Amino acid sequence: MKKKYIVILIIILIVFFAWRFLRPMNIFVVDDRFAWPVDTTQAPAVLGNLSAKECGACHEAFYKEWQTTIHSQAWTDPYFQTDWDFEDRRYVCRLCHTPLDRQQPHKVLGYRDTDKWDPILGDNPNFDSKLQHEGVTCAACHYREGKIVGVLGTTNAPHPVKKLNDPNQVCVRCHVVEGDRWDTFFRFPPCGTVAEIGSSAAQPLSKDTLNVLATLQPLKEDADIFAQMTKSRSALLKGSSGEVAVTNTSSLGCVQCHMPLVNRPLVEGGKVQQTRHHYWRGGHDPDMVKKSLSVKFVERDTNNKNKRRFSLTIANTGASHYVPTGTPDRYLLVRLRALDSAGNVLEEKTEKLIRTVMWRPFIVDLWDTRLPRWQPQTYSIDVDDNGKTVSVEVLVRYHLLGERRRKRINYKNTTPIAYDVFQQKISLAGKLKEAKQ
């Protein structure tokens, strides 16, 4: 009798786990914030078909900048398209990558499931495939309920304007979303958006950390980013934790770092005023990634007489979220190498700075070796002190996605998927051991 129950129990368990492995995986919760396309039925005639070109007829400089951005490619981006195919062309992906109702071939009438992964779709006579190809177009950020939203409160626009108190409100819809599910042991936002911005800011910095940070060299300085980081650091040192709450969007700083200030008119011939660049540089831009990092590569003391130790200290000093952030595909590779006189590698150490997620049978955040802000990490290599090693070098490389993932989804990239952000060589020839720190 007892045996029978055990067998039944085992069968139930097997079926359960088989289901966990085979079921379509909903890796995130479809939050109400992006569950519905942006309703554009009340768009005034002056905005025409809501295309970026239409806005560009008056706001040319903004249009030209936007055209160079990944936002304008959020739909056409071949990496997105390949990934979307791989994910069975889920409808939900459209809600951020092409958020306007007219950009979507169907209307979302409702959802069949509580997770909102199975939308009830209807015909959409207003579907505009040209607009779809504009991805995160001007109206995706600026159009709400018949009006253009902006922070300036202009009164002389030919279109209705609604004043926003804080420009960061615009980014939250797609970039700062969370998810809670019974079967995820952590919150996983779609495309790994930067919700982590809150968790990385919880504690004030210790004196030791501040001392280490002071010795590091920024890879690339940026006055706007520096000001934003200093602002949030002084808030931290005061022990304020208020800045991390997503409800308080003004402290997120997305716009301050990703849309640098520039003086210019809004329309040709208009009044010159303080505006913001529409570039949104991120992981696709080596210079932007460099702005997030400070480093130091030196020889250090070691207790072992026969060895010499070389260390890279690296910190995220230019982004309030983790580096890398965004999709869990992104990672940094730190490679340390000792070379002999012929250039042969005598010793090599590599470290992957990545978020590692177990997807099945349950979604679990296994570990995370990325760089939270202001938390310096040190990676070292020990080399034999026998004269064979003539140089030690370090390479930091940024990966948009890994080679394995690229192959798995069959993404045939035409642009590089990785690039170097930092490289340095210490030559040991003729250098004695005392040149240490």
What dihedral angle (degrees, nearest 10) is formed by the CA atoms of 250, 179, 142, 241? 0
Write the interaction track for ligand HEC spanning residues 167-186; mark x where CB under 6 A is met and - where it is not: x--xx-xxxxx---------
Minimum distance from residue 133 beta carbon to ligand HEC (Å): 12
Of residues 46 and 435, the one with the C-beta less far from ligand HEC: 46
Q: Does 116 bind ligand HEC (CB under 6 A)?
A: no
CB 436 within 8 A of CB 300: yes
Segment 75 to 94, residues that bind ligand HEC, using CB under 6 A:
77, 79-80, 83-84, 87, 90, 92-93
Among 40, 103, 228, 311, binds ligand HEC (CB under 6 A): 228
Question: Tokens 């409100």 label which residue?
Answer: 169
Minimum distance from residue 41 beta carbon to ligand HEC (Å): 15
CB 384 within 8 A of CB 406: no
Q: Kindly indicate which of the ranges 114-122, 222-230, 298-306, 423-431 contains the residues binding ligand HEC, using the contact rule CB under 6 A.
A: 222-230
Minimum distance from residue 431 beta carbon to ligand HEC (Å): 34
CB 279 within 8 A of CB 65: yes
Segment 250 to 289, residues that bind ligand HEC, using CB under 6 A:
252-255, 257-259, 266-267, 270-271, 275-276, 278, 280-285, 288-289
How many residues in total does the chain contain?
437
Among 121, 152, 213, 357, binds ligand HEC (CB under 6 A): 152
Of residues 60 and 301, the one with the C-beta less far from ligand HEC: 60
Minimum distance from residue 258 beta carbon to ligand HEC (Å): 4
Say how many C-beta atoms besides its own lie within 10 A of residue 198's C-beta: 19
Cα–Cα distance list, 195 to 36, 204, 255 (Å): 20, 19, 15
Question: Tokens 């890879």 label which residue?
Answer: 219
Segment 10 to 49, residues that bind ligand HEC, using CB under 6 A:
34, 46-47
Of residues 70 and 315, the one with the C-beta less far from ligand HEC: 70
Of residues 276 and 335, the one with the C-beta less far from ligand HEC: 276
Q: How many chain residues are in contact with ligand HEC, going by CB under 6 A?
A: 99
Euclidean distance between CA atoms 35 and 94, whole angstroms: 10
Among 29, 37, 70, 219, binds ligand HEC (CB under 6 A): 70
Minimum distance from residue 31 beta carbon to ligand HEC (Å): 7
Q: Kindly indicate which of the ranges 146-154, 302-310, 357-365, 379-387 contains the residues binding ligand HEC, using the contact rule CB under 6 A.
A: 146-154
409 CB contacts (<8 Å, ≥6 apart)? 82, 83, 85, 86
Minimum distance from residue 20 beta carbon to ligand HEC (Å): 19
Segment 301 to 340, residues that bind ligand HEC, using CB under 6 A:
318-321, 323-327, 330
Euclidean distance between CA atoms 262 and 256, whole angstroms: 12
Name which of 326, 230, 328 is nearest 280 in CA terms: 326
Name which of 326, 324, 329 is nearest 404 in CA terms: 329
Question: Tokens 């200093």 label which residue?
Answer: 230
Type of residue at 281: R
237 CB contacts (<8 Å, ≥6 apart)? 204, 205
Of residues 308 and 330, the one with the C-beta less far from ligand HEC: 330
Among 108, 201, 212, 229, binds ligand HEC (CB under 6 A): 229
What dihedral angle (degrees, nearest 10) is formed by the CA atoms of 319, 320, 322, 328? -90
Q: Does 71 bind ligand HEC (CB under 6 A)?
A: yes
